[in-house]
Every structure is written in structure tokens, then in C-alpha cells.
Amino acid sequence: MTPERWQRVKELFDGAIAVSPEQVAGHVSRAAAGDDAMEQEVLRLVALHRTANPLIDQVQPDVEMLRQTIHNRAFRIGQTVQGRFAVTAFLGEGGMGEVYEASDLQLDESVALKTVRVDQAADPKARDRFRQEIQLARRVTHPNVCRIHDLSETVRLDGQPLLFLTMERLRGEPLSVLLRRDGARPAAEVLAIARQLANALDAAHAAGVLHRDLKPANVFLEPRQSGGSDVRAVITDFGLSRPHVGGHASETTNSAMFGTPAYMAPEQIEEGRVSIASDLYAFGVVLYEMATGGLPHESSSPMALAVKKARHAPAAPSSRGVAGLPAWWDAVLLRALSVQPEGRFASAVEMVEALEGVLTPAVVAAPPAPRRRQWRLIAIGAAMLLLVASVAVWQPWRGQDAYRPQREALEWFTKGEAALGEDAPYKASRLLERAVRADALWPVAHVRLAQAYWEADRMEDAREQMVRVSTLVPDRSRLANRERLLIEGVQLLLVRDFDNAAARFGGLQDTAGQVDRGKALALGNHTEEAVALFEQLARQAPRDAAVWLHLAIRQAQQQTLTPALNAFQKAEELFRLDSNLEGVTSVILRRSRALQMTKRLAESRAEVEKALELAVTTGAAHQQAQALSQLAALASLAGQTAEARTLADRVLQLAAAERMPALAVAALNGVGAAFLAQLNYVEAEGWFRRALELAARSGLSLGDATARLNLAQALVRQNRTAEGLQLAAAARKYFEAGNYRDSLVSTYGLITDAAIQDGRNDEAARASEGRAHDAGAGGLSRRDPAGFSVTGAVSAGWPPLTGPDQSDE
């Protein structure tokens, strides 16, 4: 976006919010005069302008924030401390304490006063230790290290002791601010800064001083006195460092208390071991971040981060989408971030020389394969086990009346049930089919299989399994309580009585049962309740990937993307820990859909591509098909008709080969819906006709009804009202019988719309359509199963389109 274009967007936006909501789309389209990107941007802004609960209102600064900011400051402006330092300004606040500018009245120069956090100041022993460390740190005199003058002590107004450092007054900005604002730095700039930091670090190490908390927030970029564009990079907070003896920290440290996990070496996080090597690791992270704009490992929790760091090499810098990185930097930075300390470079300067390309390839490449330290992983594993132990586990069929299945069946069943939790109904179907084959007399396996079929949109097969159950269990009263609840719950699901199904599943005490309850709640449009339940489960069973996945799915449904992305992340990490790549794929697919729903199309596409690659690796055909059909939908949203065709054809082939017609129908409906959202009715019509034909041929009644409704939408918008109404009526009958509430709302909306359109002009019809929809949707959560909500004003008036997500409904 250029400033000139921005002004144009502003003009169009101004015009668009002046017209009535029904006219926005038309107005903007005319005003944009064929500039699609402009049109999209304006519509996006108009929609955001009308958002009901804007996030921005939640962050509105208020009195309380000011109060907290100012409350309990160590110094006041104008105060003279110890008769020597006249405090002139408050400069900021960081992890270590507050920073003030003061005038040193004795030496007549400007200095910085940095307070030391209370917990360190309060304990006399800690204070003495701190004092010794400062003495040591002061031994480092280097142009790229912030000079520390003194450590002083005074008393706060409230009588608490107050420690503060006087140090060089830096006037530049922290590297962290620069990175946050401007992202990755060009290679030349990385090298210029890296070289200075390396000199400083090596000098400190030579003096026996470790930094222990090197990170961009502790690096200041000072403008040179002489002016010019280059900067002096200065490392601050060496004050936290300790003397290192033989490369190991003294035992007095409680060093895990210090430091910032994102920059800490794995051994520092896990064992609090600090050394030159851990400082160099942090330096590597800083370089990585400068080069790519991102951290090598991202994680929402320190624990997960520790595990990641100990187990996985970071993504290669070149894979982070930054142009212009020298080819050999991947090898250098990955070596700098070796899990094993002995795998890293010997000094900071050596690392920078490797970046500069001065060193031979032999030095750059990782040294001889380090021994894999199993014990570390074991330690982590043990910690995890403790956590898992607190989680309720599925203990199938204990108790006198419970059926005892064959062992083989139990094994397949357990896996199949897990797959159900993982949002992988196709995989679950296959596993549970094997369970049923291994033990055909076990009712619960049939029930779960029915559920899996139902979720995979194989209604007939699901019913058949339930029939088996009733022949196996003629008298339910003799069943164990939980068997009975499960059977009834699934039966209610099949007739789409979600509220009662949720109540039955609620009686199951284990996590899997509660996950089922949450799914039923969400299907019954109690999204909030479902989210609350999954949140609670996530607290109780934080190692259960399925719980996080479902939490994320429902949060995304609520359009709260931030927590949803966190939860997806959690789920992904946990699946990865389990080496469950299909689970990981499920997460990525769902995340891509959530991103698509919030219009983050580029990210959405990147995710699907990742999912596709994974699905090809694992050979999971249904996930490949899902990814391809999602890609097809994205292509059609971007107006790439040919691309969408090619992709959809691949889905059809896969679906045919793997006998997954429901997926193929969903894909066709999805691509059509995306074209409909593009207002390309003719193209959309073609896709829906194919969907309808395939659904009819494969006997898929839901796919059939969905295609009919979609086709009706495309026709009505082409003014072929009578034809459209006929199709809509058929769809309506099916949706009514099956209690498909969201689809019904859409159908009613369309029927009202078409009726009005028959007699009146187009504008009037569109308005009434919106009303009819809103009236119909009253009390229901607004959902868009296809995830193709049209940008802004258009979607506000339109009924949701039904697409590839139909298996959820």
C-alpha cells in the first residue's frame, strides 16, 4: 500500500459508510471501477467499521492503566538522590527494573539510574552477591558494553531498601524495538551489528563474565556522535551476569529464575546451566531474529518451549520467507543453535566470521555428530508423565456388567476413539472397522464406528451400525451405566438432537466423554458453553491434544482468532510430541480454515500447503483430499478459475480412488461457494451442478440437499427464480426432516428473497433477504459452515453458504 493509494481507499471508505448497508457493495464496486484489490480493502474496512465488539475498545487506555503505571515508582522527577543525582526524567521500565535519567551533580554529566527489583534488594545475602557481581561486571570495559558506574543503596518512601545502578546514559533505541517495528534486517546490517556484539561478548567472556540474559531488549543502538548512518551497538545488563568458573555457573545460582526463555539455551532452561556456550546460544537467537524477523522456536508456554528446544532443530532461516540471506547462513545459524553446547561455535567472533563467509565450510558445518543425550529427554518425559497421571484416562468397560472385548479389538478401538477426538473421522472409521472385525460382539465398538461414519457424512453406514447395536443389546437396562450413556448419546447425535446428546455424554466422567459433550454442545449452537467446557478440560488435561484442538475449533467459530491460534499451537505441539503427524495435519487444516474465515488468505494458503505436504508424507488420503479441496476453494476465492479446476479434479480423482464421495461433493460445493462469494454466479452454478450430480449418483442425501440449496442461490441471483425456488423447496424438506438448523435458516432466507425478487426490483429483494435472514437466525449463533463469508457488507446481508464443512453439521 502506498500513501497515494491509501488516500484513495480513504475516499472510497468515506463514501461507503455514508450509504445504507444494502448499497455498500454496489457503491464500492462502482467507485473502485474494476480495481478489485481496492474494492476488497474498502469492503474489509467497512465491515470492520461495523464490527459489533471491536477489540480496539477493549484496549482503550484508561485511568487504571495510568494508575498502575505510575503507582509505586522508585524515584520522582525532580528528586535528588543521595545529594548527588538529580532525577530529570523517567525513561522506561524493563524486566530488571525502572530506568531514570539523572544529572550527576558531582561530575556534571548525564547518567542513567536503574533500579533493581525488590526481590533481589530485600534479601541481604542476595544483595551482597549482586554487589560482587556488579564488581565483576565493571571489569568489562568495552565500547560495546554499557558502562556501569556504581551500585548504590537508598530507602524507598515506604521504608523498603532500594538498590540502584548508575550507568552510562544510552540514547538510542533497543534492538527489540527496531525488530518489532521494522522486522528482519538486511544482511549487511545484521553483520555490522553482529560484529560489534561479538567483540563485546568475547571481551566479557575473556574477563570471566557471562551475560546470561542476552536478548534484543538488552542491545541498544546508539547513533554515532559524528552522525552518519552506522550505529554503535551496546550490550546492557551485564549486571545480571555471574563469574564463570570452568565454564560452569557457581552453585549459588538460582539461575532458572533469570533470563528469557525464548533466548535461553536448552541446558539453561532445563538445568540452569550457564556457560559461554549458553551465552553464545542466546547470541545465535539474536542473530537469527535479526536475519529473519522471527524467533527460531515459538511457543506459548515455557515448558513446551523447553521441549522444543531440546528436541527440534529450528526451522532453517531461509525457510522463513526472508529474501536476500546468504545461502550459507542456514548452516551457520543452525549450528549456533545446536542443542548440544559442544556443537556450537567456540566464540562469538568465530560465529560472525562464519556469517561473513570468512571461514571454511568445514568450520561452518556442524562438528562431529554429538552423542544424543537421552537422559535429558527422559527427564522431560518423566515430568510429562507426572502431569499425564493427573488426567482422567479412559478405562474401558471395567465393572461387573461391562463387556470384555478381545485384546486386538481393544487396541484398534483405543486408536479409533483417539482419532475421533482428533477430528479425523475417516481415520477413525478405518480403525474402528478393524476393531469391529476383531470382535463383532462388542457393542461399544459399533457405537463408536457409527459415530465415525456419521462424522464422515456416511449416514447410511452409521444407521446400519446402530442397528447392529440394538440387536446386540436388546435390553439396555442391563448395560453398565457408561455403555448406556454412550449408546444413547450417539443415537441422539444421529437424529441431530444435540442438546440431549450433550446431556448423555455429560454423564461420562472421562475426558473423551467430555470432548464428545463439547462437540454436541457446539453442534447444538451452544458455542459459548462448548468453549467454556473445552477451556475447563484444557486446564484439567493440559496434555490432551484433542482437547486443545476442539477448543481451538470452537474459538475460531466464535471469531476469537487469537486464543484459537494459541490453542491450535498447543494442539500441534502435543501431537508433535506424540509424533502423531495426522493429528498435526488435522490441526493445520483446521487452522487454515480459521485463518480463511478471518480473511487471512495468504496465511491460510501457506497452512494448507503445509498440510498437503504432511498428508502426502503420512499417506492420509482423506487429509490430502481435504487440503486439496481447501486449496481449490482458496484459488476460486482468488478468482483463479483454472487453478481451482485442476485442484478440484485432483480431489475428485482421490475421492474416487479412495471411495470418499462425500469429500468430493463437499469439495465441489466449497469451490462453488467460493465463486458465489466472488459474485461469479455462472461459474458457481457449474460447480454446484457437478456436486449435485455426484451426490445423487453416490446416494449422499446431505450433500445432495446442500448442493440443491447452493445451486438455488446461484440461480436466484441470476434471476432464474422459479428454477431456484424448486430446488430450495426440496432442500428445505430434507433440512427440516433432519433438523439442520443453520442450513434451514439459509433456505428460508433464500426463499423469502426469491419470492420478493419475483415481483420487485433487485435492491428491495436484497434488503428483505437480509431481514429474513436475521429474523431466521435469531437465537442461533451466526455460522458460516463454508468459511467463505464474503467480505464485509455483502456477507452481512447474505445467508451463509454451505460448503465443505458439512460433515460437521
> Which residue numbers are catalytic?
213
Neighbours of 692 (CB within 10 A): 23
List the interface residues with other proteins, window 145-174 (CB under 8 A). Answer: 150-155, 157
Beta-bridge mates of residue 223: 231
Q: How far is the CB of 572 from other proteins (least distance, A)?
A: 14
List the interface residues with other proteins, window 49-78 (CB under 8 A). Answer: 49, 51, 54-56, 58-61, 63, 65-71, 73, 76-78
Does 562 sit near other proteins (CB under 8 A)? Answer: yes
| Complex with other proteins: residue 568 or 734, whichever CB lies closer | 568
Alpha carbons 699 and 514: distance in angstroms, whole number: 33
| Complex with other proteins: residue 31 or 730, whichever CB lies closer | 31
Q: Out of 245, 257, 389, 642, which residue is the one contacting other proteins (CB under 8 A)?
A: 257
| Complex with other proteins: residue 182 or 475, whichever CB lies closer | 182
Does 301 sit near other proteins (CB under 8 A)? Answer: yes
Q: How far is the CB of 571 from other proteins (least distance, A)?
A: 12
Does 45 sit near other proteins (CB under 8 A)? Answer: yes
| Complex with other proteins: residue 75 or 412, whichever CB lies closer | 75
Per-residue mark of binding to other proteins, 645-674 (x: CB under 8 A): ------------------------------
Does 93 sit near other proteins (CB under 8 A)? Answer: yes
What crossing angle do the helices spanning 3-18 and 36-49 adopt, rounded to 10°? 50
Neighbours of 132 (CB within 10 A): 13
Q: How far is the CB of 133 from other proteins (least distance, A)?
A: 13
Could you tell me where the DSSP H helices lie in 473-600? 481-494, 498-506, 511-523, 527-540, 545-557, 561-577, 581-597
Does 3 sit near other proteins (CB under 8 A)? Answer: yes
Alpha carbons 530 and 311: distance in angstroms, whole number: 34
| Complex with other proteins: residue 150 or 758, whichever CB lies closer | 150
Alpha carbons 456 and 584: distance in angstroms, whole number: 19
Alpha carbons 698 and 709: distance in angstroms, whole number: 18
Does 6 sit near other proteins (CB under 8 A)? Answer: yes
Q: Out of 13, 329, 426, 734, which residue is the one contacting other proteins (CB under 8 A)?
A: 13
| Complex with other proteins: residue 599 or 645, whichever CB lies closer | 599
| Complex with other proteins: residue 311 or 600, whichever CB lies closer | 600
List the interface residues with other proteins, window 589-628 (CB under 8 A). Answer: 598, 600
Q: Out of 192, 207, 295, 303, which residue is the one contacting other proteins (CB under 8 A)?
A: 303
Long-range contacts of 133-136 (CB under 8 A, 24+ apart): 133/239, 133/240, 133/241, 133/242, 133/243, 134/165, 134/239, 136/207, 136/208, 136/209, 136/241, 136/242, 136/243
C-alpha cell at 487: 449408546
In the block, cell 556504581 appears at 150
Does 21 sit near other proteins (CB under 8 A)? Answer: no
Q: Out of 25, 32, 46, 276, which residue is the one contacting other proteins (CB under 8 A)?
A: 46
Could you tell me where the DSSP H helices lie in 114-258? 118-122, 124-137, 175-182, 187-206
Alpha carbons 802 and 746: distance in angstroms, whole number: 9
Per-residue mark of binding to other proteins, 185-224 (x: CB under 8 A): ----------------------------------------
List the interface residues with other proteins, window 495-554 (CB under 8 A). Answer: 538-539, 542
Q: What is 696-752 written as a DSSP string? A: HHHT-HHHHHHHHHHHHHHHHHTT-HHHHHHHHHHHHHHHHHHT-HHHHHHHHHHHH
Q: How far is the CB of 417 from other proteins (least distance, A)?
A: 24
In the block, cell 551497538 appears at 233
Q: How far is the CB of 388 from other proteins (least distance, A)?
A: 11
Q: How far is the CB of 321 from other proteins (least distance, A)?
A: 16
Does 79 sit near other proteins (CB under 8 A)? Answer: yes
Cα 248 from chain centroid (whole Å): 37
Does 48 sit near other proteins (CB under 8 A)? Answer: yes
Could you tell me where the DSSP H helices lie in 33-123? 36-49, 55-58, 63-70, 118-122
Does 387 sit near other proteins (CB under 8 A)? Answer: yes
Dihedral (C-alpha) 563, 569, 572, 578: value to the nearest 10 degrees?
-110
Does 399 sit near other proteins (CB under 8 A)? Answer: no
Does 132 sit near other proteins (CB under 8 A)? Answer: no
| Complex with other proteins: residue 13 or 412, whichever CB lies closer | 13
Size of the site for other proteins (CB under 8 A): 82
| Residue 770: its H or E element | helix 762-777
Alpha carbons 531 and 550: distance in angstroms, whole number: 8
Q: How far is the CB of 131 from other proteins (least distance, A)?
A: 8
User: What is the distance between the terminal CA atoms of the chain, rounded to a whole angstrom?
Assistant: 40
Stretch binding other proteins (CB under 8 A), from 1-9, 694-702, 758-766, 778-786: 1-9
